[in-house]
Structure 1
């Protein structure tokens, strides 16, 4: 049975006393104990009135309780609806309302915001069942009203094609859409990711990627569940705290956006930490320059560095493989994975994906679903790319990010790759800005590494040596940082708003 409840029961049987979940300074759960605790959560949810097929939203940062809540929701036969912790109350209320959630599990005050109070302040109608996580112990006590056999029956009645989760897109170019995945799909992409990365019960996985995102949920929690690896969640990425956890918990797996690795590399406390346990780094969502790949290997000690490509609607579409050289890892996102076919279509070179793990569709939005997935089953990603002879995919850009300068198409990702090779650059983004003569020209936003000072002349001169004239930005800004979404992608619409 390809369902999450069945996978959890199998993990409890196969991995038993091996560590499944670690909440440092609080508690550690073996796989057998994790199974028991999830059954308790499922019983409490059933006691609260959650029925099979109901949707339950979780609006909270990474934590043991998030993981227990999510698995408990699925064990009770309900559907998980993760909510972005960066959302305002208005945005969260929109997603919770449109999802038709019958329940909401919400954090207490976090990063200076009481999210439940914020929902009440805007007059949002709460679901019938609301659990503030500070009330966790009282919630667990409800489980005594429901026999374990009832929860186990619910779990066995879940089917592989039932909707396991509804993940909302980032909404950076419009209203977010709820991408639905079946249990079999969520597990298949998790298993593919885990197999390529070589995860097993010896691994200890520090999950910094948000659980509300597919990287944290499916390439994180579920990947560990199917491989026997241990989950160690981190609520907010703090470099010093991450370094402490790597040393104290003997972390072996640490994926994240490129900025995570530059943060670790440039932190003054790094040299005083024992990082020898690290073995697997996986990145994506942004340009990864070759020099950074080499530094991750040589200075942080990762034996394997991989890049991957996916999106909410497909999760793990391509991935590099252990043994790939630096150039392949830096300039491509690897080869097809998880049963996907990859095709480049049309004059624009849009990336199309087809396979058993393409989303079931967007919740309550057949028009958007039909626009995204054509009658032949190809998912139109909106990304532009190329395939080399070995099948490695290079992401050129987003269709919407391309701009036209003097009649020539300019793909910002190509310019950003050139900028990434300039010593002293931590991160860079390029957007098109209006120009009376050429229509649009490029503006580069460049973040310098600590201890480095860059000038516009240096940046533009570097580009002129490597790019055709129409691709060279006409201006440069040096902000202290760039705005990102939860998966590490730069929010270019914010740069355009402030241009």
Structure 2
């Protein structure tokens, strides 16, 4: 099996040929057709100055996204997916920091004007509308195609395949560097546990800009020849209709996705008997939900897992694990990975049953952060252990249970939110003196943001704070509640005591 993305594209075309690679909105593309579209698009990118550089792709799930993303690496470039919900301010920052040679945008998604908004903020790279890529690719001639085939030949497993951005505790998103061998290995490890085959029909709800949508979605399809059915945005009724009509077999997603399916009025009349494999994950998945996935949604194999952008797949449950194990743990280390629990203060590794910081080591751990050696050294120690910032426990079987977070991150609707990033945005609002953001429970989204704001006399009201955030941050990062306080509780070193803020919420 190839250990580069271009190698997977070629192999899929040869091995799976006329089998459906992806189907969406009435359009179906075979693996042979996908390969042809990818190489023609790669030729178009190369002629427009990509030249092996980094390409930012800002778009929702679509067949066009798959073609454009694969074309970037086929032409020897590095894929930089941007969150489709990001504002132009956030994407402009990514474009500038990566020195992007090209930016591809799905203009008009959610009724917005992404291209105009982005052009007003950055001129550092040419911007192409994703809708126009097919027209550009269609004119590729034999010389163009020969050029990109040579570029694909030159890609090695150790070249950088992609840079996925994730926020850090400093508040500014960090670019996570992954080599082709790591990106391919993530797909291989996950699909081995999931027992994926060419007979599967895979409903991809996870966004492609996320590692679970791209590496454990698109690349899994290429690897095994199953058919992908992407969704641009999740809608429970639409998902159920697809499950019945397309005889879907695989659905990975956050617990909220499955609850949405089970609680939909359409569920009672939907045939879900084709389903066989569900993958979910969270600090704690209710045992009752695991049981409902097996009995009501007909899944034969229900697996929980743990991963992060810096280490896409670290642990997974396995077939035969009890419902309680699946619900209360994140499984054990996959092949090629090690787990350990360390004392957060001393770094000493702790025995089974003791709580501490989760450390990960092995083939899935990132190469490092983009242009940030200090943050890389802080995250990955001299022995190669990735310090996750999550608190957990390993039992005597090596199964992981996440119990807390060292970082202040919270998860809103399946997306990680780092309060420091939100705080840095809000403190730029005139009249705001100080801000602290925490995550609070929400029945629908899991957690949402609550902002504690210190303001000057005559400063903004709550609506103005939220409106300011909406202009600069993706919707899932925008606080849902604003509380004005005279001061923020701090310790002697000046650190905000968020435990005190949580105790009042």
Shorter-chain TM-score tier: 0.7 to 0.9
8 A contact 2:201–2:250 mirrored in 1? yes
Distance 1:339 1:257 in 2: 25
Match of 1:263 in 2: 260
8 A contact 1:43–1:142 mirrored in 2? no
Q: Describe the SS at the equivalent of 1:164.
A: strand
**Deviation by residue 1:20-39 (Cα, 9 ceiling, x = unmatched):** 1112312x122122111111
Trace 1:39-438 onto structure 2 (pairs within 5 A).
39-52=39-52, 54-121=53-120, 123-127=121-125, 129-144=126-141, 146-171=143-168, 174-346=171-343, 349-401=356-408
Cα displacement (A) at 1:268: 0.4
Distance 2:191 2:228 in 1: 13
TM-score by length of 1: 0.80
Match of 2:12 in 1: 11
8 A contact 1:188–1:338 mirrored in 2? no
Cα displacement (A) at 1:258: 0.5
Distance 1:164 1:125 in 2: 25
RMSD: 2.6
Cα displacement (A) at 1:200: 0.6
Cα displacement (A) at 1:17: 2.0
**Deviation by residue 1:85-134 (Cα, 9 ceiling, x = unmatched):** 1211111111111011110110020112121122134x32241x321122
Distance 2:90 2:47 in 1: 29
8 A contact 1:50–1:103 mirrored in 2? yes
Match of 1:417 in 2: none
TM-score by length of 2: 0.79
**Deviation by residue 1:191-218 (Cα, 9 ceiling, x = unmatched):** 0001100001000111110100111111
**Deviation by residue 1:318-338 (Cα, 9 ceiling, x = unmatched):** 011122111011000001014
Match of 2:473 in 1: none
Q: Describe the SS at the equivalent of 2:272.
A: coil
Match of 1:464 in 2: none
Distance 2:377 2:481 in 1: 30
8 A contact 1:47–1:143 mirrored in 2? no
8 A contact 1:320–1:329 mirrored in 2? yes
**Deviation by residue 1:242-274 (Cα, 9 ceiling, x = unmatched):** 111111111111111010000000000111221
Distance 1:237 1:211 in 2: 13
Cα displacement (A) at 1:171: 5.0
Distance 1:446 1:140 in 2: 45
Q: Describe the SS at the equivalent of 1:277.
A: coil
Match of 1:32 in 2: 32
Distance 2:170 2:281 in 1: 20
Q: Describe the SS at the equivalent of 1:169.
A: strand
Distance 2:371 2:10 in 1: 32
Distance 1:22 1:446, change over 3 A: closer
Distance 1:443 1:97, change over 3 A: closer
Gaps of 5+ in 1: 403-411, 414-428, 432-441, 450-489
8 A contact 2:169–2:407 mirrored in 1? no
Which moves more between the two structures, 130-139 or 314-323?
Answer: 130-139
Distance 1:340 1:70 in 2: 27
Cα displacement (A) at 1:145: 7.6
Cα displacement (A) at 1:182: 0.3
Q: Describe the SS at the equivalent of 1:254.
A: strand
Which moves more between the two structures, 340-349 or 195-204?
Answer: 340-349
Distance 1:226 1:316 in 2: 16
Q: Describe the SS at the equivalent of 1:292.
A: helix
Distance 2:379 2:481 in 1: 26
Cα displacement (A) at 1:446: 4.8
Question: How many residues end up aligned between the 2 structures?
Answer: 422
Distance 1:282 1:131, change over 3 A: same
Distance 1:9 1:444 in 2: 47
Distance 2:40 2:197 in 1: 27
Cα displacement (A) at 1:62: 0.3
